[in-house]
Chains A and B, each alone.
Chain A
């Protein structure tokens, strides 16, 4: 399917700008749970980007794909897979309806993130509608581009609060030849020690996780290289582990089946104890740099603990998310507000989705 509704979307934004009407931007609605719940969003008019779809250009040897924001993530991943390539940041979809625009707006990345980079690292350019209804392009379809400020990457993770994504260009990579997973039974501290001894050597690690006293390491690369690495790290070989990594990425492991609030904590990989929480409430990814925590502990305590180690905590999934993202310092908040003003002066794009002040 290939449909261009950019004019329609632009008109709706222009009208909302003139009438000062809040817009709630949705793509596949697969990640609607992510971000703050805000009264302004409840009463907002919906701006549905999912009809704006289609791959606009893809040449495997250029390592770049450009697609309209409403293009289903699954369609893009299938096309890349057919050509032996992939989105190396392994984005979670969370539902079949997920779109590439939503993927970039949320800047969520999967298990490979610690080893190759996040969604933002693969974003080369984008076309947006700002809060005044102006269509603009930034970045491009080339790997190296330093003309003007990096407005494209600013869009990644902005949750639509600075602009409506219309098109994105992403760098893609060849799939790896061989994938193996090794498993170890150990404590969390032993797991971190192992990971840190490996991460200082050029092993082809492409994912890692630790929970329920089990450390898993995924190795990806040229066949001989993976085989040699498997001998170096040791542990038990796991068959059909791809399903495990997929379930981890999509939050379908038993760990994630919980009624408790789920926190996503990003911090230095070698922090041994984060809070006094029970170990079984944690799942580690990204070599220890990402920790999922299910807990009823109040948000202030979790976010203070994250701030104490120079990290940040996001209340990732919960029914009523008022406090969601880590509080910004007054200086940073001022810059955020100024930027918001510069892109969306009437505060109509996803107001309150990221911070109450934006």
Chain B
């Protein structure tokens, strides 16, 4: 279980509130239990904590002053966007300030020539694409929470979505950041060109989970909207064939805009929920979206159709119009809530594997599912190897959450074992902090801590998240012997 790092503050809660109210409106500093409650968790609601204080600054200067104040008084700070994250990255610190960027919701500038938009961190992902639609442009990364999630959070988590194989993650689609360091300094990272001087701090900040600085402005890159998008739906009576079909499409020299797989349980759940017309007798379906110029899409649709058939698809459908294309997608996009209808609770995992390992991983997961007596539905960003197994459980049954967590941990370790990673796009947060000890050795973790110290030597930003301390790993290792070896032998046991 997670325990936030203990930090010795130099100021009382009352004095801190007074100091904050000195430069912020009274309604922007929350400290009553009932006002704090809405901030107790993010999208991973199994973990909750009430922060000491919530602040809602409106200007960059206020953020600077909040951070300076916290820095001087050794107060932990957790930054938060929309709170849609799935790894507990925005879980509050009980002795700390929760810094909400919710009031930073302006689109500052759109430049169609440069194909960029300069936005505040609290702007919603989808709102960017909506605002630039008039210029025929869009912002490519589209996490499933894109209606609600904010761009600041996207940068903090390096969010992906269903179009990553072709269009990349957040790190590939931003150009400049303004951040405030823990000592209150405003830094501009990146520039107006395609690269900037010095180390690639833009990449380092992206996906840093609020550990290095607070993002107060983001310049995103925009893309011209494709002339046309078309989607094919293929059914398979064997998941192995579906997995091979993905490799065969890529071998044909085609990079689809989106390539998604769902297994039998996920198909059935989605079909019951949105009636997308999915074939219920299939063991797996693939959704393959092709985009580009009109001519290119026509050419690729006929190629992919051939590849799918040759790969053993029992059925291949092409959306006959835009409405049907959206219906095909509706099932996939509703897969999580659809699975939620099958069970009181579900737990969404996020490992990535080399695609060729899919059959082996699915088999091992099925075995684990039997062992733990918990059902698992699979939706899979098949093009880039990102798995989202959904473990179905009931939190009201004693110990079922704990069993689910253990099962989830086993899935993540399986991903590492086949050469993958514990998180493709949801982040480590506090959820996967123990598995970080499996994926990385103590030298690598120490190097991460050195990166952290380069920005935040006192460890005040989002303490206890993203990178485990070596002691935490030693404790975890004590109950978890990896490959028969005692991890972190150099550390004393306690």
Residue ranges of A at the interface with B (Cβ–Cβ < 8 Å): 59-64, 84, 107, 113-114, 117-118, 120-121, 130, 134-138, 140-151, 153-154, 156-158, 162, 173-175, 177, 196, 199-204, 221-225, 227-229, 266-270, 286, 289-290, 309-312, 314, 325-329, 331-332, 335-336, 338-339, 341-343, 354-355
Contacts and interface: CB of A to CB of B under 8 A. Distances in A.
Given A60-B251, A144-B425, A335 B455 contact: yes
A60 B354 CA distance: 12
Contact of B191 (A203, A269, A310): A310
Most buried by B among A145, A204, A269, A290: A145
A150 B194 contact: no
29 contacts: A61-B247, A61-B248, A136-B444, A140-B421, A141-B354, A143-B352, A144-B160, A147-B439, A148-B448, A148-B466, A149-B211, A156-B200, A200-B113, A200-B135, A202-B225, A202-B226, A202-B293, A204-B292, A221-B293, A225-B296, A266-B193, A267-B193, A312-B196, A327-B197, A329-B187, A332-B198, A339-B199, A341-B454, A355-B198
A61 B358 CA distance: 13
B253 interface: yes
A153 B436 contact: no
B454 A221 contact: no
Given A120-B203, A151-B451, A202-B227, A229 B385 contact: no
A175 B251 CA distance: 11
Interface stretch (B69-77, B164-172, B363-371): B164-172
A288 B154 CA distance: 29
Contacts of A114: 194
B447 A222 contact: no
Contacts of A121: 168, 171-172
A336 B352 CA distance: 31
B185 A174 contact: no
B459 to A, nearest CB: 14
A341 B353 CA distance: 34
B298 interface: yes
Chain B at the A interface: SS class:
loop
Interface of B: 112-115, 135-137, 157-158, 160, 164-165, 168-169, 171-172, 181, 185-189, 191-201, 203-204, 206-208, 211-212, 224-227, 247-248, 250-251, 253-255, 292-296, 298-300, 352-356, 381, 383-386, 419-428, 432, 436, 439-441, 443-444, 447-448, 450-455, 466-467
Contact of A343 (B168, B192, B423, B447): B447
Contacts of B137: 200
Contacts of B467: 148-149
Contact of A146 (B181, B204, B356, B428): B428
Contacts of A328: 197-198
A214 to B, nearest CB: 22
Contacts of A339: 199, 451, 454
Closest 5 CB pairs of A and B: A342-B450, A266-B193, A338-B454, A224-B295, A153-B203
A225 B197 CA distance: 37
A207 to B, nearest CB: 14
B199 A162 contact: yes
Nearest to A117: B172
A145 B421 contact: yes
A114 B426 CA distance: 28
A174 B447 contact: no
A332 B201 CA distance: 9
Contacts of B354: 62, 64, 141-142
Contacts of A309: 192
Contacts of A154: 199-200, 203-204, 451
A196 B116 CA distance: 13
Contacts of A61: 247-248, 250-251, 355-356
Contacts of B169: 144
A314 B423 CA distance: 37
A285 to B, nearest CB: 10
Given A147-B432, A342-B451, A325 B187 contact: no
Nearest to B244: A61
Given A61-B355, A62-B356, A270-B113, A150 B171 contact: yes
Given A121-B168, A153-B200, A204 B381 contact: no
B158 A329 contact: no
Given A149-B451, A200-B136, A336 B158 contact: no
A41 to B, nearest CB: 18
B152 to A, nearest CB: 16
A137 B232 CA distance: 38
Contacts of A311: 191-193
B360 to A, nearest CB: 14
A141 B419 CA distance: 7
Contacts of A63: 250
A225 B192 contact: no
Contacts of A146: 157-158, 207, 421, 423-428
Interface centre among A114, A142, A224, A342 (most CB of B within 10 A): A142
A227 B450 contact: no
A149 B208 contact: yes
A180 to B, nearest CB: 14
Given A151-B447, A202-B224, A144 B194 contact: no
Given A144-B384, A148-B440, A174-B250, A325 B295 contact: no
